[in-house]
Amino acid sequence: MQEGLLVDYALYFRVCGLEKDNFQIQTQESESYASGSLEVIWIAELWSHDNCEAVISGDSLILRARPGPQGVPPKERVLHLADLAAPRLGTATREDEPWAFESREFLRQLAVGKEISFTSIHSLPSNDDVPRDLGTAEIGGVDLASELLKNGWAKLKEIKREASEEDNKKKDLENEAKSAGKGIWNPHGQKARAVNHTMPVDSQAFVTEWKGKPIDALVEQVRDGTTLRVRLLMPDGEHQMVNVALAGVRSARVSSKQGEASEPWGEEAKFFTESRLLQRPVKVQILSLPNSTATPFQSSANAAAPPPASIYIGTVIHPAGNVAEYLVAAGLARVVDWHAGMLSSNGAMERLRAAEKVAKERRLCLYANTAVPAPSGKANGAPTSNQSQTFDATVVRVWSGDQVSVVEKDTNTERRLQLSSTRGPKLSDPRQAFYAQEAREFLRKRLIGKTVKVHIDFIRPREGEFEERECATIRYGGQGANVAEQLIEKGLAGIVRHKRDDEDRSPDYDKLMAAEQAAVSDLRGIHSGKEIPAPKQPLNISETNSRATQFLNGFKRLGRIPAVVDYVAAGSRFKIFLPKDNQSLTLVLAGIRAPKTARNASEKSEPYGIEAYEFATRRYMQRDVEFEVESIDKSGGFIGSLYFNKTENVALNLVKEGLATVHSFSAEGLSWARQLFDAEEAAKQTKRNIWSTYDEEASKVAEAVAESASETGPLKSEYLDVIVSDVRTKNGFAFSIQILNTEGIASLEKLMAEFSVHHRSPVTSPLGFVPKGGDLVSAKFSDGAWYRAKIRRASPIKKEAEVTFIDYGNQDTIAFSNIRPLDSKFRSLPGQAHDARLSFVKLAAAESDYHEEAIDRFRSICEGRKLVANVDHREGPLLHLRLIDTANPIAAQNPLACINADLVSEGLASIDRKGCKYLSSYPQVLKKLQTSIAQAKRDRAGMFEFGDVEEDD
């Protein structure tokens, strides 16, 4: 009979009721029990009912007939060889009798796996329906009892009956063996051997010492199709009994109690293993303890030492192969995913998967009622037909340690992808935040801007707060490395434990499991047990103008500074992160202006604003860059240049693409201004994006008209009744006005009356309301009243915002608790405050001793007063005004008399020759100002107290 491969414990449980001194062999029942030809499958002494321990002996056989129809497990039969007594094997509480193992081994090698003819002399009481007989047996015409006596491996019991001729022959055989010193009669005695019947005390140390090393062994018991008890024949001569679960597979459970039913296909799996492996010599490789991969951050570094393991995970190799693969192929065991880590290195997991596929396709046993697998890519959750399964793409953004955005090469479509079967650390969990940032940075360095190969494995449907997400395997580099595998191997992500029949998983799932196993073994990353504090929030040095000013000179001295683009706010506005210093800043590109994008649903993007934003995002988001600083703006943003790949000037690139225009005034101070103007001209000629409707001739005419209006001639006189509503000195001198006697002012008075009534009621902010830059809101001023305002900048950390009151021009910092969303009925009226500056002149500089005096003087004669203003120049929304005090009698006589000239004659202001390019367009006004400054010098007024300082301008 050809040997097979399998083993189980059920045999032990069925016969464990036998008396201590009975020695048995197991078989399957046939039609006649008096005699027959059965297969010897086990030689065992089952002696202790209490601890259910099976012990092998040399005078008892357990017989089994051939399998029934459709592999139905056959019954067993116990045969005790009449008149023989063999040495008893030891247990956990007593040692082996001398030569017990050798006696058992002799009979095992002689009988196991072979057909046997037996004659029952006497039937014994059965245990658990297992028949027991006392009798004789032959194999191939050889009497087993005679062979045992002849070789000295058993003794004759005392015979109380009259000795027969056969009895005398057996006595002669025993005497011959005794005279020859054979077997148990060896005068030198048995060599000392330690037999450990219990599992090793230090389980982990045993695994560490023997992991992956083949050890000769005998299978002693089979509990179920995938759980064995084996005797390890250690190299030093010791015997170590261990329980082994077959790596990579798990069969159905077999009942261990009388009257309890086994799980479906459990008995068949047990018989499959038992008939092939029980008492066969095998090679055992111990691989692991039976604990699945620990969930990160759940294990404690100070945890007490674990108790001895009751079982190991390993492989059992018979000369015919690995029984686990045969079990799975027969549909009698399922693949255990989390064992992949210990099996993938030698291809064992792939073979198990292939065997499982065959069993499923044939609907064998456990898979009898399993639906036929859908074709690849069409299973539940698979991509729809109009989506590419595999495509090349460029990674443009890394969202987290397991999500990225890519742009498909062929369609230029951006897609946000989840790495299949991968779960990154959570940034929101303080214990995982450090690793979450490390995982994100790992992906950024390897993928951002790189061409990758994407395979969409399945689509995870929307569930609760989680949006529908495409799950993909992403490979990069010449070797096609799976970035998820690398991430998991470094301990920067974990693997998703899918349900048993969940086919929506990574095609490299086993490799991912192996990578995680390696990370766990080496205590890497999230598996280290270390709780590293969450990274500190980067210092935002652009939060205020005063803070930014502290860094300006230092940045200028450093020149180009390495950094990372953390976020793209608009085509020419970036949030920059300095990893070395853990600082962030806002960088506005000098010399250009990109179209604005809408910041909320109520706004509308400027033409090509979205295109400029997408271009900058896809090309520069999360890239390593360098930047240079020129100056800062009034909100704390740094104005400067950004360089990608050392040589690519981002501003220049935007202009070349027709996604930004050159801002002539700021560009003139740049060393590469000529390149900007040339790039803009080239974009105009090719009519790229912004310039798609550009008409060169019409543009020249418009420019000529504008230049004539702004440079060569004064504006037409436009006198307005105004009131100076606010004077500001922070970040330079500025003021705001309201234009009186207009419909706007009348509407404002009505609006403010309604506004006051509206805010008398207990109006509360919506749950979760957080003010953002650009929002129109209601804000409470220091006088306790509510006014319309616009958010300039908000700080969720400080819970306060810098606002501008749009009807009066005041600016202040307001706590979130004093800010509410602006009701829609108060939004239609435009803000009534207009930003303004003095025409032709500038007040004493901030570093001057007369600066404060100049501000005070301006406040005293202008703030809160009704004046007449002439608009001399418009700079966007900024009005350049000549202020006239109608209460001054000189103003009525001289049309050139104005507060601007009065401040000059008092030595508190000077002619602004650099800032007022329209100065030459007003020769009469210039002459008046020159007269005023001559008077100030003559009177040594103000800043001219100690001499002529005008030339210092």
pLDDT tens digits for 893-915? 888 899 999 999 999 999 988 87
Q: Select from 3.30.70.100, 2.40.50.90, 3.40.50.2000, 2.60.420.10 the CATH code of 390-527.
A: 2.40.50.90
Is residue 35 over pLDDT 60? no
Is residue 757 over pLDDT 90? no
Domain boundaries, the chain: 48-185, 195-253+265-294+307-367, 390-527, 539-707, 744-759+770-832, 839-944
- Band of the pLDDT at 57, cuts 50, 70, 90? confident
Structure tokens at 716: 């037409």
Q: Which residue has the higher pLDDT, 689 or 127?
A: 689
Q: Which of 96-110, 732-746, 806-820 bottoms out in mean pLDDT, i.e. has the lowest?
A: 732-746
DSSP single-letter state for residue 329: H
Amino acid sitting at position 948: D
Is residue 637 over pLDDT 90? yes
Task: Return mean pLDDT, the chain.
Answer: 83
Does the fold of domain 744-759+770-832 match that of domain 195-253+265-294+307-367? no
CA 490 remoteness from chain centre = 12
Is residue 229 over pLDDT 90? yes
- Cα distances from 262 to residues 209, 250, 269, 598, in angstroms, run 36, 14, 11, 67
pLDDT of residue 385: 41
- Band of the pLDDT at 233, cuts 50, 70, 90? very high
Q: Which residue has the higher pLDDT, 71 or 639?
A: 639
Q: Select from 3.30.420.40, 2.40.50.90, 3.90.1150.10, 3.30.360.10 the CATH code of 48-185.
A: 2.40.50.90
Q: Which residue has the higher pLDDT, 275 or 386?
A: 275
Residue whose C-alpha is closest to residue 808's, from 792, 791, 788, 782: 788
Instruction: State the Cα–Cα distance between residues 566 and 554, nearest whole angstrom.
Output: 22
Fold of 195-253+265-294+307-367: OB fold (Dihydrolipoamide Acetyltransferase, E2P) (2.40.50)
Is residue 52 over pLDDT 60? no
Q: Which of 5-14, 156-165, 170-179, 328-337 bottoms out in mean pLDDT, i.e. has the lowest?
A: 5-14
Q: Are 620 and 574 in contact (CB under 8 A)?
A: yes
Structure tokens at 943: 């800043």
pLDDT of residue 579: 93
State in words which class domain 744-759+770-832 has: mainly beta
- Band of the pLDDT at 230, cuts 50, 70, 90? very high
Instruction: State the Cα–Cα distance between residues 587 and 636, nearest whole angstrom.
Output: 9
pLDDT of residue 484: 94
Phi/psi for 262 (5° steps) reads: -80, 160
Q: Which residue has the higher pLDDT, 80 or 659?
A: 659
pLDDT of residue 23: 28
State in words which class domain 839-944 has: mainly beta
Fold of 539-707: OB fold (Dihydrolipoamide Acetyltransferase, E2P) (2.40.50)
Q: Which of 124-138, 497-511, 702-716 bottoms out in mean pLDDT, i.e. has the lowest?
A: 702-716
CB atoms within 10 A of CB 690: 25
Is residue 618 over pLDDT 50? yes
Share of residues in the chain with pLDDT > 90 (%): 37
pLDDT of residue 612: 94
- Band of the pLDDT at 594, cuts 50, 70, 90? very high
Q: Are 218 and 281 in contact (CB under 8 A)?
A: yes
pLDDT of residue 55: 30
Is residue 944 over pLDDT 90? no
- Band of the pLDDT at 635, cuts 50, 70, 90? confident
Q: From the DSSP assignment, how many helices (H) and strands (E) are in the chain?
A: 23, 48
Q: Are 884 and 898 in contact (CB under 8 A)?
A: yes
Residue 407 buriedness (CB in 10 A; 0-12 / 13-18 / 19+): middle
Q: What is the pLDDT of residues 708-750, one digit of tens each?
A: 554 445 777 788 889 998 998 887 788 999 988 777 787 888 8
